[in-house]
Amino acid sequence: MTNVEEFAHGFGEEPGYLDYGRVGPVSRAVRAELAGQYDILGKARFGTVERMHAEDARVRSAVSALTGFPDEQIAFQPNATSGLMHAAFGLTGGEILLSLAEFPSVTYAAVRAAQAMHVVTPTWLDTDGGPVTPAHIREQVTGSTSAVMVSLVDSRTGYLADIDGIRQVIGDRLLIVDAIQGFGVVDAPYEVADVVVSGGQKWTRAGWGTGFLALSERAIDHLTPVFSGWSGTGAATQTWDEVIEPAHGAKAFTVSNPDPIAQARLAAALEEVAAVGVAAISDAVSDRAERVIDLADEFAIPVSSSRNTAERAGIVVLEPRPEQLTALSASLFNHGVTASVRPTTVRVSVHAGTTEDTLEMLRAAFVSYASAV
């Protein structure tokens, strides 16, 4: 067990980085894992390449520790979108209730599944321009609704969804959660979901090419593994001269052997998170988000994301007047602050390793902005 301070030592990025919602620079532990794994692959000493495939069990165990899903109900994925596609294409009927404002990985999975399979229908949730809430879903769920898809944290607004509340209002319908904007920094009740997907390139800082799909028993019973390759069978070893049925489990939702080095990167990142605990990381992230909000208030920069700690994770959204957005983005750029500038907002993403130097750089940028406007 480590503490947050020791965890923060694993952040190697330069001061000024506030864009974890886009990509998290890989941690020192992940870089060390990557170097070690490539050294093994580069030398290919007798027996070592075969042993690299043990990373599959390792990464599934690491995901299990953070989600509560059993190892055998987890499949490694190259990204969150692949997991969402598996889930959406696997639905066998009814309507999928979701917001059109969700990140495109979610909406495209639902629509492409409907277009290709002709067995499900996306139904767009009306949120009156606000976040996805249990109340909105309660009002619009129908007897034809078979599944609900939602982001744990909205990528544009930073809103943290109440997935426990959503579960309570949808009953035994499938709940599909895209957790990528909160996984590793939000202490969420993942056990209430039927499908949890995430990528490792953001808050867990494992780099691109990493992700997972976790399925409840109900999801395994109700989803059809449409994209199931030779690696997704129930056979203990590779089979020749026959094509056998997919396994009854998460393994079925794979198409080929995974990249063991990518699995090792994700496992190393998640093991580091588990060592300190998601709750402790979440508290540290919340503290730094509060610091950013206080700075924005000090310089009269409007904050459009939620100020309620129960409704936010690591994202703070700034929304200056339209004619002042250019000045704010220029000031951030001139002071070496990395954030996501959108057409009407600036998204600032903090992490447990965000340093005082970085916050001071943000303050300096705000000083210049305030002077300019």
What mean pLDDT value characterizes the chain? 97
* Percentage of the residues of the chain whose pLDDT score is greater than 70: 100
Average pLDDT of the residues in 133-143: 98
Q: Over the stretch 152-186, which tens digit does the pLDDT of each residue have? A: 999 999 999 999 999 999 999 999 999 999 999 99
Question: What is the DSSP secondary structure assignment for residue 15, as one 8-state letter?
Answer: T
Sheet with strand 94-98: strands edge to edge? 74-76, 211-215, 195-199, 174-178, 145-151, 94-98, 120-124
What pLDDT is attached to residue 326? 97
Query: What are the tens digits of pLDDT across the range 278-326?
Result: 999 999 999 999 999 999 999 999 999 999 999 999 999 999 999 999 9
| Predicted pLDDT at 234 | 80
pLDDT of residue 239: 80
Gyration radius (Cα) of the chain, Å: 21
On the question of pLDDT at 370 being above 90, the answer is yes
Pair 41, 49: CB distance under 8 Å: yes
Residue 131: pLDDT over 80: yes
**C-alpha to C-alpha distances, 286 to 10, 193, 353, nearest whole angstrom:** 19, 24, 12
Let me know if domain 28-276 sits in CATH 3.40.640.10.
yes
User: Which 3 state secondary structure label does DSSP give 161?
Assistant: coil
Instruction: Convert the pLDDT of each residue in 78-107 to its tens digit.
Output: 999 999 999 999 999 999 999 999 999 999
pLDDT tier for residue 238 given thresholds of 50, 70 and 90: confident
d(CA 27, CA 17): 14
pLDDT for 1: 61
Q: What is the pLDDT of residue 339?
A: 98
215 beta partners: 195
The predicted model gives 188-217 an average pLDDT of 98
**Residue-level pLDDT at 246:** 95
Cβ-Cβ contacts under 8 Å for 201 (sequence gap 6 or more): 23, 24, 79, 207, 208, 209, 210
What are the sequence ranges of the domains in the chain? Answer: 4-25+278-372, 28-276
Calpha distance 204→79 (Å, rounded):
13
Q: Which one-letter amino acid corresponds to residue 94?
A: G
CATH code, residues 4-25+278-372: 3.90.1150.10
Q: What is the mean predicted confidence (pLDDT) over 139-150?
A: 98
pLDDT tens-digit map of 250-283 = 999 999 999 999 999 999 999 999 999 999 999 9
Distance (Å, whole) CA 232 – CA 225: 9
Task: Report the amino acid identity of residue 230.
Answer: W
Q: What is the mean pLDDT of residues 349-363?
A: 98
Categorize the per-residue pLDDT at 236 as very low, low, confident or very high, splitting at 50, 70 and 90: confident
